[in-house]
Amino acid sequence: MAQETHTAAAGTWTLGDLTVNRLGFGAMRLTGSAAFDLGAARDRDRSMGVLRRAIELGVNHIDTASFYFSSLRSANELINSALAPYPDDLVIATKVWPARDPSGDWWWATPEQLRGQVEENLRQLGRDHLDVVNLRVPPSRGSGSIAEHFGALAELRDAGLIRHLGLSNVTPEQLAEARAIAPVVCVQNAYGIGAPAHEQALLRSCGEQGIAYVPFFAIAGAGREAGPSAADSAAVLAVARAHDATPAQVRLAWTLRQGPHVLAIPGTGDPDHLEENVAAAALRLSDDEVSALTEDATPSR
């Protein structure tokens, strides 16, 4: 896996009218050693270097949010400083509904406050419109209605502030509710080896509807924002040895094998990890290896 790989090796998908390479980049870890940590910030030049190197390696889909910040760093500001003027083919996706105040405490926007969140992303990124905005549904909303919030975003789309709409942390029922209001180009949910059956069903349903499925925590799994926490299974380690790859690369390759509509957005602030993640675009797992990884995993609860 030492040879340099371009993200195009994983193929492409179209978000509405925007074509992206299926292996993209998540900006969450650019600001600090741990997500949402207000402590020590990452070196600014190093984070900007990771972004520029990602573009060199073919990344043209970056996932971010205005609430990705540490005491001294903002992911959106880093993206703007490192990459503007932006490449013509770069698609930047962001998220609204959750927010953090300067102390790091979370709050959730009302439908009327979503415009302010969209405008905040526009200012930070230096854009006159946002390519993709995902409505990130709070855990407390569960299976409740998202119509008011998604309807407010649809109005901002009609006003030209947003090009395409997506959803994050949603159920099939919420997806259907949103699609009755406006087109949905992507669903961004937690997913990876060991994902529960209902999430696997949603992934397949998105493919049938022509909607991109964009897993987050594909590498971290149950570790979520804190990063990988559990030891890798024997199956993951065996496949990694067979391909001279890392377990993280195996997890990404398995994720991309779940369907041509599945995109990956692994994030890192480490230039070496970036190279490893991108190399997973060229890692080809056999059908037997994919089955072994799937069967070996214990679905998360």
Residue found under tokens 């964009």: 214
Specify the pLDDT at position 33.
65
What is the three-class DSSP state of 165? Answer: strand
User: Superfamily for 20-231+261-271?
Assistant: NADP-dependent oxidoreductase domain (3.20.20.100)
Spatial neighbors of 65 by CB under 8 A, at least 6 apart, are: 27, 28, 75, 76, 94, 95, 96, 98, 121, 136
Contact predicate 130/161, CB 8 Å = yes
- Across 121-126, average pLDDT: 98
**Residue type at 150 in one-letter notation:** F
Active site residue 213: no
Is the pLDDT at 225 greater than 60, yes or no?
A: no
Q: What is the pLDDT of residue 220?
A: 59
Which of 42-46, 120-124, 149-153, 179-183 is least confident? 42-46
Residue in this structure with the two tokens 């905040």, named with its chain if needed:
120
- Residues 6 or more apart in contact with residue 15 via CB below 8 angstroms: 61, 91, 93, 131, 132, 164, 166, 185, 186, 212
User: Could you give the angle at which helices 247-256 and 234-243 cross, rounded to 10 degrees?
Assistant: 90
Is residue 142 over pLDDT 90? no
Question: Is the model's pLDDT at 232 over the cut of 90?
Answer: no
Instruction: Show the tokens assigned to 178.
Output: 């949103």
Cis peptide before 85 (omega within 30 of 0): yes
Contact between 240 and 296 under an 8 Å Cβ cutoff? The reply is no
Say what percent of the chain tops pLDDT 90. Answer: 83
* pLDDT score at 301: 37
pLDDT mean across residues, the chain: 92
Which sequence spans correspond to the domains of the chain?
20-231+261-271
**Looking at residue 203, what is its pLDDT?**
98
DSSP for residue 226: G
Predicted pLDDT of residue 157: 98
Q: Is the pLDDT of residue 167 over 70?
A: yes
pLDDT: is 4 or 2 the higher one? 4
pLDDT digit string, tens, across residues 24-44: 999 999 998 666 777 667 899
Is the model's pLDDT at 222 over the cut of 60?
A: no
Neighbours of 157 (CB within 10 A): 19
Q: Write out the H or E segment, with its range, that includes residue 132.
A: strand 130-136
The answer for residues whose C-beta is within 8 angstroms of residue 14's C-beta and 6 or more apart is 20
Give the span between the Cα atoms of 232 and 35, in whole angstroms. Answer: 22
pLDDT at residue 34 in the model: 65
Burial group, residue 192, by CB count within 10 angstroms (0-12, 13-18, 19+)? buried
pLDDT of residue 1: 42
Instruction: Give the model confidence (pLDDT) of 184-205 as tens digits.
Output: 999 999 999 999 999 999 999 9
Place of tokens 């949905």: 184
Distance CA 160, CA 168 (A): 21
The dihedrals phi and psi of 3, each to the nearest 5 degrees, come to: -70, 140
Tokens read off for 174: 């919420």
Q: What average pLDDT does the segment 242-253 reach?
A: 96
Alpha helices in the chain (DSSP H): 44-56, 75-83, 114-125, 147-158, 172-179, 197-208, 234-243, 247-256, 271-279, 287-296
Q: State pLDDT tens for residues 258-279.
A: 999 999 999 999 999 999 999 9
More confident residue, 76 or 39: 76
Q: Is the pLDDT of residue 254 over 70?
A: yes
151-155, 264-268, 293-297: segment of lowest average pLDDT: 293-297
Tokens linked to 4:
């340099």
pLDDT at 143: 84
Least confident range of 40-49, 83-92, 282-291? 40-49
Question: For residues 133 and 94, is the Cβ–Cβ distance under 8 A?
Answer: yes
Please name the residue that has the structure tokens 């060229």.
Answer: 282
pLDDT recorded at residue 3: 55
pLDDT of residue 218: 87
